[in-house]
Amino acid sequence: MEANPFDPPEGSLRKSVGRGAVVTAIAQSVRVATQIISVIVLSRLLSPQDFGVVAMCAPVLAFIALFQDFGLTQATIQKSGIRHEEVNYLFWINVAVSAVLACVLAGAAPLVAAFYGEPRVAGLVAALGLQILAYGLGAQHLALLTRRMQFGRLAIIDVAGAVAGLAVSIAWTFIDRSYWALFAGTLIGAVLPTLCYWASSRWRPGMPRKVVGISELINFGAGITGFNFANFFARNLDNVLIGKYWGEAQLGLYDRAYKLLLFPLSQITNPLSKVMVPALSRLKDEPDRYRSAYLRVMPLILLVALPGVAFATAMSDVLIPFVLGEQWRASASIFLALGFAGLLQPLNNPAGWLFVSQGRSGDFMRWGIITAVTSVLAFALGLPYGALGVAVAYAVSEYLRTPFLWLYVGKSGPLRASHVLRTAAPFVLGAHLALGAVWLVKPMLPQQHVVALASGVILAYAITIVVALTFAAGREALREALKMLPARAPAATPREAQ
């Protein structure tokens, strides 16, 4: 008999999550590589002004997108025994809201163009409504695939969407070398996955009908949406302010630095939430196992990400012109400043897994408000000094927030700030020392850029690992990494669920 499409597959949590983490990691490696290739190739085909026009539209799209999902995909994933009627009701909410938001975008397009004083923005903002519709049509199908832990299919779809989007953007430049090439790629990156979600989930909606008790699901999603709403300002107001007061050229430089560094970092942790949130939710009533599961995964993220950030930050003046071209050299100093924020974000971003899996959506929303207020204050302080000033102020705010974040996370639940400090400190300290060491030896590296960059990467990872080995927690984490990396890395997390 065919399995119920709303139930996760039978079998152990360890097996499902282990396989899911493997395929998610592989898919994200491809996605990050695709993103980096996109930055490199399209930066050579298009001008900073083209990227600036798109960056002006991005905050508007991101703000509108906050409301189309309303946290309802997470509600579908988390609820026990969800029924067809409930999923169907949530589907039609997603579709209706997406249609309204697409119309809002079209109506707001002239206002956005007037705000920036850039008429090219109007047509692009209106066209972005097509992406909103595509995402709304696929939201519940994506949730069902995630609920069933069909991570292999999701990985294939993610990779296909990313690669197809890049290919279309590049191909479009041969037709029209303008910002519309970037739009065409992102549209394909939205439409193709939605078609694949429908084909893979095998669920089809019926006519919309009111469902008794649906308010529980909507309330759950409201907390997630509250965080996303507040977090929007922390992630996007910098673009708005730079574009408004410094123009598209400065914004283009800032956007390229951000996309080359901080965006790929978010692509490491965000997709893992598809695996980790359901797994941690199963363990929330077993504090020792919950804590052990999280603290086994976190060092692996830090070990993979932080030395690379340290290297790229220290060698930004070599890396940026080599990768993007000489016309982007002015972006190197912005990249350097953002790199310091990047040394903390792989540690801080997964905190969302803890809030959601523990059912603390209210706390999650309140922390989002704190992040938004402090980030906006930082942007305002840095804005008189241009894009570089904004980048420096943002990095400082990340350092000031970090201890308070983990104290707030640890005020309830199985994980305390002391647990995170003990586990993360060897890798965070090691990455900072690696950054300093690479910076100092940079003048002594070979003149050939490829050799110099390769030497910097090796040195950054070597120093981080050596420093981590001087701590008992670092040695323990590295021993686990050696055992887990070949094939069992993801499986170690759900071992506690058995």
Using CB atoms within 10 A of its CB, is residue 7 exposed (0-12), middle (13-18) or buried (19+)? exposed
Q: CA-CA distance, 304 to 310, in Å (whole number)? A: 11
Handedness of CA 242, 238, 400, 434 (dihedral sign): negative
My answer on whether 375 and 466 are in the same domain is yes
The pLDDT tens digits for 303-318 are: 989 999 999 999 999 9
Give pTM, 2 decimals. Answer: 0.74
Q: Single out the residue of 220, 242, 222, 218 nearest to residue 230, CA to CA.
A: 222
In a domain, residue 169? The reply is yes
Unique residue bearing structure tokens 């900073």: 48
Taken as a whole, the chain contains a residue count of: 498
Structure tokens at 448: 């050939």
Rounded to the nearest angstrom, the gap between the alpha carbon of residue 322 and the centroid of all alpha carbons in its chain is 25
My answer on whether 194 and 73 are in the same domain is yes
My answer on whether 177 and 248 are in the same domain is no
Q: CA-CA distance, 55 to 453, in Å (whole number)? A: 29
In a domain, residue 222? The reply is no
Q: What percent of the chain has pLDDT over 70?
A: 90
In a domain, residue 347? The reply is yes
The pLDDT tens digits for 448-471 are: 889 999 999 999 999 999 999 999
My answer on whether 313 and 431 are in the same domain is yes
Banded pLDDT at 416 (limits 50, 70, 90): very high
At 407 the pLDDT is 96
My answer on whether 40 and 184 are in the same domain is yes
In a domain, residue 497? The reply is no
My answer on whether 459 and 368 are in the same domain is yes
In a domain, residue 39? The reply is yes
Range of the domain at 303: 236-492
Q: CA-CA distance, 376 to 236, in Å (whole number)? A: 10
pLDDT of residue 269 exceeding 80, the answer is: no
Which of 180, 212, 244 marks a domain boundary? 212
My answer on whether 117 and 240 are in the same domain is no
Which of 212, 247, 268 marks a domain boundary? 212
pLDDT of residue 493 exceeding 70, the answer is: no
Does 437 or 267 have the greater pLDDT score? 437
At 177 the pLDDT is 85
Number of structural domains (the chain) is 2
Q: CA-CA distance, 125 to 84, in Å (whole number)? A: 35
Q: CA-CA distance, 72 to 222, in Å (whole number)? A: 8
Q: Name residue 393's amino acid.
A: A
My answer on whether 240 and 205 are in the same domain is no
My answer on whether 445 and 479 are in the same domain is yes
Which of 196, 212, 228 marks a domain boundary? 212
In a domain, residue 43? The reply is yes
3-state secondary structure of 10: coil
Any idea which of 48-62, 183-197, 360-374, 409-423 has the lowest mean pLDDT?
48-62
My answer on whether 162 and 247 are in the same domain is no
My answer on whether 134 and 259 are in the same domain is no
In a domain, residue 217? The reply is no
